[in-house]
Structure 1
């Protein structure tokens, strides 16, 4: 008797479930992903070390030191892939020394010179890469001499390593569907954020050449001090009270004479109605994409569509207003405590964190799976 499509699908799922159980509970399954993680962290560490050279350091002693260590690191990793086990281990030890040197050099720069964004990111990936390199080197040193597989990161093992990694990831994804859902939610959010970063500058460029840039737009505020003063790069002190939506007329970074809340003086310009419309249109596009992708890709929901749209719109409005209102409360404290550079990064991180963790449980309710 021929099986139906549903029965075939059920058999396939049972087979995958059994295979994944047998695979994931072996003591050596983690070794299959080790070469991939070692590779990935190495590449990211090198990329951000180079960005640190070009953007943060530019020249000088730190530039020279990081350039030399990064070059040695690349050569060490390449030779460890090409050579046999004995010379490969020597190359891995060289890589370990290079990672350690980079870690000390960048950490010293961050502590004693200044906090720089790409240096911070590079530091994180160097620490991760160093940890993976230590694991890889230990495994290479403790492996049986007669083991024909050689070094885990030997170039001859890459194809098999990635094949095993893909199989292990597939099995893990199948067995941990709730964690997989969370990862999909995270990835969709990041994709939409990238799209926003692309659309927003384009719309700002279009609208800033219109008269809309000379029209004020403010909504909900001021939050905190109405006479808050900041200093521009040219030394000019201007008023900049916080509003949930604050788009004072004039080109970004300039100032304009205004009387707000009974206080007259120069106020920081924020692009006017032109920049508000650019932001608003971008936000609407982003939320439409978020709704479609989170519903179908991340949560795979089949709930009532009109009902989901209504609740999504209500939740988005409330969360967006609340998130921006809170920003006006913690942003001055973060800037005052950590300075403009670290404070700006911390404020953006807190804002993103609030949005991320508030939206997730709400999406779980809105985008339910109905039997």
Structure 2
């Protein structure tokens, strides 16, 4: 372990920018994946918490699509009744929001060690979250409809969280690099 620490110090001294990218990238992947697992756990239980809500189409734009014999409504945001509707959308959004409320301070303070303007960073992060959520949900509603035909719910929930985590992770990494200036960049 000592040799690894010495090697890292030497590498960091010779290549500080590369070392920072490796450290931040590695920590970012670890934190993002832990948050993804947390969201997965939430998605195992939250849909039951909203079982009392009416299972109605809740989404926009609600374009009918048929793939592999399965007809569903494609939404940028939300789900049709056949794939969870309002209750699943509520559970999904709460899992995503709670996850990002944990993710933001960890990424800002631990991963990127940012001391930038908190209000601007929250605003930029929230805007990125909204855009990414729409992109991911537009893919996710197809995944839920199609995967639901072939695998049990808990499996497609894994796919949902991996899809959300994977797509979001790549986009958020570059968004975070932009909105969380690290101390080394000042």
Give the TM-score, by structure 2 length.
0.74
Indicate conservation of the 8 Å contact 2:61/2:74, yes or no: no
Q: CA deviation at 1:185?
A: 0.5
8 Å CA contact 1:207–1:274 kept in 2: the answer is yes
Mapped contact 1:244–1:325 kept (Cα < 8 A): yes
Partner in structure 1 of residue 180 of structure 2: 367
Is the CA contact 1:230–1:240 (under 8 Å) kept in the aligned structure 2? no
Gaps of 5+ in 2: 13-18
Structure 1 CA distance for aligned equivalents of residues 112 and 65 of structure 2? 46
Once structures 1 and 2 are overlaid, which stretch shifts more, 312-321 or 199-208? 199-208
Cα distance, 1:277–1:323 mapped onto 2, change above 3 Å:
closer
1:243 to 75, 78, 93: 75
Distance 1:299 1:284 in 2: 21
SS of residue in 2 equivalent to 1:301: coil
Corresponding residue for residue 98 of structure 2: 285
Instruction: Compute the displacement of 1:246 (Å).
Output: 4.0
Listed as ranges, the gaps of 5+ residues in structure 1 are: 1-165, 232-237, 250-268
Q: Count residues with an aligned counterpart.
A: 166
Aligned 1:60-71 pairs, distance under 5 A? none
What displacement does 1:354 show?
3.3
Q: Distance in 2 between matches of 1:221 and 1:351?
A: 20
Pick closer, same or farther for the CA change 1:294–1:203 going to 2, 3 Å. Answer: same
Shift of 1:273: 1.4
- After TM superposition, give the deviation of residue 193 of structure 1 in Å: 0.8
Q: How does 1:145-164 map to 2 (within 5 A)?
A: none
Distance 1:346 1:274, change over 3 A: closer
Secondary structure of 1:243 counterpart: strand
* Higher RCO (Cα < 8 Å, 6 or more apart): 2
1:240 partner SS: strand
Which of 14, 23, 26 matches 1:180?
23
Residue 3 of structure 2 corresponds to which residue in structure 1? 168
Kept after mapping to 2: 8 A contact 1:216/1:272: yes
CA distance in 2, matches of 1:351, 1:275: 15
Q: Which has the larger radius of gyration?
A: 1
Map of 2:116 onto structure 1:
303
